[in-house]
Amino acid sequence: MTALRDDALTGKVVLVSGGTQGVGAAAARAAARCGAAAIVVTGRHPDKASELLDELGELGAESMVVRADVGVVEQAVNSVTATVDAFGRVDCVVNAAGITTRGTLLDTTPELFDEHIAINLRGPFFIMQAAVADMVARGEPGSIVNVITMSAHGGQPFLAAYASSKGALMTLTRNAAYAHRADRIRINGLNIGWTDTPGEDEIQRRFHGAGDGWQEAAGRGLPFGRLNDPDEAANMIALLLSDASGIVTGSLIDWDQTVVGAYD
């Protein structure tokens, strides 16, 4: 695995929602390795972040954790406010918080649907709103990466609410990128496929009866013989956050072993 060069995010203040584990935590570590000055991670379980904060400090970044359920608008917005209060600004945002609770078209309740919309769409919307407002007020460029999913292209029948919320996030990514391109604020999305994270392990055990070793068994059926690696996804996120990705904005990148629309 080749990492981005270690000065790609030098001096940047980076906010990562859902950053206490999985892809979000990997993105925080990648930002620190790339020279970010400060990294703020949010999550509903900040107790999980102590080890991560130690890692970020060893990599040379100031860091802090903000308790936030992005499904609650006030807490989502407060994560940006807390970042600006602590470090004076926010330069980069990674919207990595999300849920994948199972539900088909026929058995999804209004409550389950609303929870997906609140966490996977509304939270990122208002985090972006607050972050972009700070960037525009300062007259400075910025970069945002929304962690989406391959399921946003249609998805599995048991992910009806999830696919719907993430499909809307794809549209929001393009809309916001177009609206703020003249402000030099770049907004892109990463459609991540099946990835080996603690959250996915919990989901597989809870909903699909998976036992120990399920990751290896699942990986054997994939083209590269393994599940996707969150650290590799994090490298792509760091690239999109950095100036190394140039003028790229409004792009939705499929980061997976499959190719949408291609068939044998």
Q: Is the pLDDT score of 2 beyond 80?
A: no
What architecture is the 13-193+228-255 domain classified under in CATH? 3-Layer(aba) Sandwich (3.40)
Return the structure tokens found at 139.
């007259």
The full DSSP string for 27-69 is HHHHHHHTT-SEEEEEES-GGGGHHHHHHHHHTT-EEEEEE--
Closest CA to 101 of 92, 86, 91, 111: 111
> Which residue type occupies 99?
I
* pLDDT tens digits for range 167-217: 999 999 999 999 999 999 999 999 998 888 887 878 888 888 888 988 898
Q: Report pLDDT for 140.
A: 98
Contact between residue 19 and residue 96 where contact means Cβ atoms under 8 Å apart: yes
Q: Where are the domains of the chain?
A: 13-193+228-255
85: CB partners within 8 A, 6+ apart: none
Range scoring the smallest mean pLDDT among 75-84, 156-165, 211-220: 211-220
pLDDT (0 to 100) of residue 11: 96
Closest by Cα among 28, 89, 35 to 60: 35
Residues sharing a CB contact under 8 Å with residue 30, sequence separation 6 or more, in sequence order: 3, 4, 231, 234, 235, 237, 238
Q: Tell me the average pLDDT of the chain.
A: 94
Instruction: Report DSSP state, residue 229.
Output: P
Calculate the CA 29 to chain-centre distance: 13
85-127 residue pLDDT tens: 999 999 999 999 999 999 999 999 999 999 999 999 999 999 9
Mean pLDDT throughout 145-159?
Answer: 96
pTM: 0.93
- In this prediction, residue 41 carries a pLDDT of 97
Q: Is-catalytic flag, 162?
A: yes
pLDDT surpassing 90 at residue 218: no
Q: Which of 179, 98, 168 is nearest to 135 (CA)?
A: 179
Q: 5 pLDDT exceeds 90?
A: no
Supply the pLDDT for residue 210.
Answer: 82
Q: Given this model, what pLDDT does residue 207 score? A: 83
- Would you say 27 and 55 are in contact if contact means Cβ atoms under 8 Å apart? no
The answer, yes or no, to whether residue 4 has pLDDT greater than 80, is no
User: Out of 87, 158, 162, 255, which one is annotated catalytic?
Assistant: 162
Q: What is the pLDDT of residue 1?
A: 46
Matching residue, tokens 């604020």? 185
pLDDT number for residue 195: 82
Predicted pLDDT at 171: 98
